[in-house]
């Protein structure tokens, strides 16, 4: 609790020079709590949800989605398709970065080229063959082939537009002191504790409603709920399943909840024995009782997963989840040459619910003779080390934040995307690549849907990953919070949010 007590004091002292944007009835600082710290303040590196939740306030993209999920212009004022592979974009005039420099077409080209070159986020924008400068406020984005999800990928926060001159002057400084054109300016980051931002008065869409933002890092879900109850934070993301009822029944709080775009899964490192054996991977899938995990640990807040993408994503084909069948699991292990089982490790980051899920899996695997040690680590280390392929198995969640199947399949199963981009099973399969490419490059929705269904047929057999469940997304807030809209990808925007005193 002590870690939160300074928040209100910090809020009252923080940035006293900030303009009185909010009315007297509103707090001048909005405080939210999330379960993990930022992995990087560079939007072309920090792609995990906790990082994007912060950088999404600091940076803008060419396009964005409205509350109905429709693509609209942000930095792009207008656009038109010159051909199947050429998109002309008019950059909105009058936009400035936080350092006062104007945002031009040169910044757009620099940013997209930079994102393409990033090992962390290139999968989002590497459909681009070339960004051509036409004039100071016009670019032509040429793709190597027709790409149906182009606008959605350009709306992804990892396609953020950054200031060329500022980044080139000192890239290391930029990564710790980011400058964007978004609604909030970066102020201070205390790693592992909190991050502060202040409203950008010259934001093109209007000055944000609340002068200051503070993001608090609160790994323990129960502590986030307590901080919400005591008023020490205004919004808390990812309310723990067993606290949902508690928040709902509190007259001073509001629970925001809806079906998300996330699938939670176990990824098998196919470079390591015995996970190079398909029968072993299938055996583990049959050994996991997903329904029990959902009921006992998630309190019903999830649905068993068959496909690697959620039902709300374009390309979902509705494959049935693997059946829970311990006897079949033992049979498959015997066929694979592991009748006596084996020992292995399952990695997970330091989130209470995720750890509990992995402990349940640990107990289930022991029933079929597999001795599995659960290794819990800090989120940043978990991502870094699993990207290097040091894990046996890892417990991951993946959000299809563009709501298009390409975002997930290209990232998680395409052969060139191993490691940091997302393919931590290290699958490399020519037929899988062929179907991913067909889904990416066809503009015919029927062709794309067929490709993704056939792709899932293969993945069901290969079992490089074990999809477990689709989760709902939620956030708790004080009833005094207004204009908060939950984002199904977890990238909640806060420029219009206020909190009453």
- pLDDT tens-digit readout, 438-461: 999 998 999 999 999 999 999 999
- Work out the burial of residue 428: count CB atoms within 10 Å of its CB; fewer than 13 is exposed, 13-18 middle, 19 or more buried: middle
Q: How far apart are CA 53 and CA 216, in angstroms?
A: 12
- pTM to 2 decimals? 0.79
Among 139-143, 213-217, 278-282, 421-425, where is mean pLDDT lowest? 421-425
More confident residue, 421 or 85: 85
Identify whether the C-beta of residue 14 lies closer than 8 Å to the C-beta of residue 199: no
Q: What percent of the chain has pLDDT over 70?
A: 95
**pLDDT band per the 50, 70, 90 thresholds, residue 18:** very low
pLDDT tens profile 52-109 = 999 999 999 999 988 777 899 999 999 999 999 999 999 999 999 999 999 999 999 9
Instruction: Give the helix/strand (H/E) hosting 205.
Output: none
- What mean pLDDT comes out for the span 187-206? 97
pLDDT score, position 211: 98
Q: How far apart are CA 156 and CA 177, in angstroms?
A: 21
What is the Cα Rg of the chain in Å? Answer: 23
Q: What percent of the chain has pLDDT over 90?
A: 84
- What mean pLDDT comes out for the span 176-186? 98
**pLDDT band per the 50, 70, 90 thresholds, residue 24:** low
- What mean pLDDT comes out for the span 239-250? 91
Give the phi and the psi of residue 157 in degrees, each rounded to 5. -55, -25
Instruction: Give the orientation angle of helix 278-287 with respect to helix 352-366, to 10 degrees.
Output: 110
Q: Is the pLDDT of residue 21 over 50?
A: no
pLDDT score, position 248: 94
First to last CA, the chain: 21
pLDDT score, position 69: 78
Residue 297 CA: distances (Å) to CA of 357, 394, 490: 7, 18, 21
Residue 341 CA: distances (Å) to CA of 304, 330, 389, 392: 26, 9, 23, 15
CB atoms within 10 A of CB 410: 26
Which residues are CB-contacts of 452 (< 8 A; sequence separation ≥ 6)? 315, 316, 317, 405, 409, 435, 439
pLDDT score, position 406: 95
DSSP characters for 24-81? Answer: TTB-SEEEEEESS--S-SSTTT--SHHHHHHHHHH---SEEE-TTS-EEESSEEEEEE
More confident residue, 62 or 39: 62
More confident residue, 346 or 4: 346
Q: How far apart are CA 461 and CA 279, in angstroms?
A: 9
pLDDT score, position 68: 76
Q: Is the dihedral of CA 448, 453, 457, 463 positive or negative?
A: positive
- What mean pLDDT comes out for the span 298-309? 93
Q: Is the pLDDT of residue 206 over 70?
A: yes
Cα angle 75-81-84, degrees, rounded to a multiple of 5: 130
Q: What is the number of alpha carbons within 13 Å of residue 358 lying toward its C-beta?
A: 26
Which residue segments constitute the domains of the chain, with CATH numbers given? 2-59+182-252+479-499 (3.40.190.10), 63-167 (3.90.76.10), 260-471 (3.10.105.10)
More confident residue, 198 or 421: 198
pLDDT score, position 48: 87
Identify whether the C-beta of residue 34 lies closer than 8 Å to the C-beta of residue 476: no
Place of tokens 């109905």: 68
Identify whether the C-beta of residue 121 lies closer than 8 Å to the C-beta of residue 44: yes
Q: Is the pLDDT of residue 11 over 60?
A: no
Q: Which residue in 175, 220, 127 sits closest to 439, CA to CA?
A: 127
pLDDT, mean over the chain: 92
CB-based burial, 12-29: b 16+ in 10 Å, e otherwise: eebbeebeebbeeebbbb
Give the phi and the psi of residue 42 in degrees, each rounded to 5. -85, 115
Q: Which residue in 114, 118, 55 sits closest to 421, CA to CA?
A: 118
Identify whether the C-beta of residue 6 lies closer than 8 Å to the C-beta of residue 216: no
Q: Is the pLDDT of residue 4 over 70?
A: no
- What mean pLDDT comes out for the span 130-151? 95
Q: Is the pLDDT of residue 9 over 60?
A: no
- What mean pLDDT comes out for the span 176-205? 97
């Amino acid at each position: 609790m002590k870690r939160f007590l300074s928040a209100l004091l910090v809020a009252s002292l923080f940035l006293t020079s900030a303009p009185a944007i909010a009315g007297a009835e509103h707090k001048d600082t909005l405080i939210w709590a999330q379960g993990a710290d930022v992995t990087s303040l560079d939007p072309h590196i920090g792609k995990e949800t906790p990082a994007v939740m912060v950088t999404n306030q600091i940076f803008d993209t060419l396009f964005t989605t409205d509350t109905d999920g429709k693509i609209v212009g942000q930095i792009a004022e207008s656009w038109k398709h010159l051909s199947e592979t050429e998109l002309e974009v008019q950059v909105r005039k009058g936009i400035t970065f936080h350092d006062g420099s104007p945002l031009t077409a040169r910044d757009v080209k620099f940013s997209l080229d930079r994102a393409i070159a990033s090992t962390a986020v290139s999968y989002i924008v590497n459909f681009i063959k070339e960004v051509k400068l036409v004039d100071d406020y016009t670019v032509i984005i040429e793709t190597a082939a027709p790409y149906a999800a182009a606008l959605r990928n350009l709306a992804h926060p990892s396609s953020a537009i950054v200031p060329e001159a500022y980044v080139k002057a000192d890239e290391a400084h930029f990564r710790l002191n980011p400058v964007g054109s978004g609604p909030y300016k970066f102020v201070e980051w205390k790693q592992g504790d909190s991050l502060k931002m202040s409203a950008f008065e010259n934001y093109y869409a209007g000055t944000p409603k609340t002068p200051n933002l503070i993001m608090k890092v609160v790994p323990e879900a129960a502590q986030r709920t307590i901080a919400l109850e005591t008023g020490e934070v205004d919004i808390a993301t990812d309310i723990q399943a067993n606290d949902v009822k508690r928040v709902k029944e509190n007259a001073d709080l509001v629970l925001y909840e809806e079906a998300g775009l996330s699938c939670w899964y176990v990824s098998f490192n196919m470079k390591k024995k015995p996970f190079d054996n398909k029968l072993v991977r299938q055996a583990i899938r049959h050994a996991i009782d997903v329904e029990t995990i959902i009921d006992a640990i998630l309190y019903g807040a999830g649905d068993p997963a068959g496909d690697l993408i959620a039902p709300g994503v374009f390309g979902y084909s509705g494959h049935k989840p693997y059946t829970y069948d311990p006897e079949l699991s033992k049979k498959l292990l015997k066929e694979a040459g592991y009748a006596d089982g084996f020992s292995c490790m399952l990695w997970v980051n330091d989130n209470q619910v995720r750890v509990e899920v992995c402990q349940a899996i640990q107990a289930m695997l022991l029933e079929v003779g597999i001795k599995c040690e659960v290794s819990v680590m800090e989120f940043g280390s978990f991502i870094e080390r699993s990207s290097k392929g040091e894990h046996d198995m890892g417990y991951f969640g993946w959000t299809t934040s563009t709501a298009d199947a390409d975002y997930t399949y290209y990232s998680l199963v395409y052969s060139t995307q191993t490691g940091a981009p997302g393919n931590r099973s290290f699958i490399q399969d020519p037929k899988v690549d062929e179907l991913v490419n067909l889904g990416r490059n066809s503009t015919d929705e029927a062709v794309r849907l067929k490709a993704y269904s056939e792709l899932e047929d293969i993945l069901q057999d290969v079992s490089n990953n074990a999809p477990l469940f689709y989760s709902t997304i939620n956030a708790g807030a004080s009833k005094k919070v207004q204009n908060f809209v939950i984002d199904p990808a977890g990238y909640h925007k806060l420029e219009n949010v206020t909190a009453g005193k």
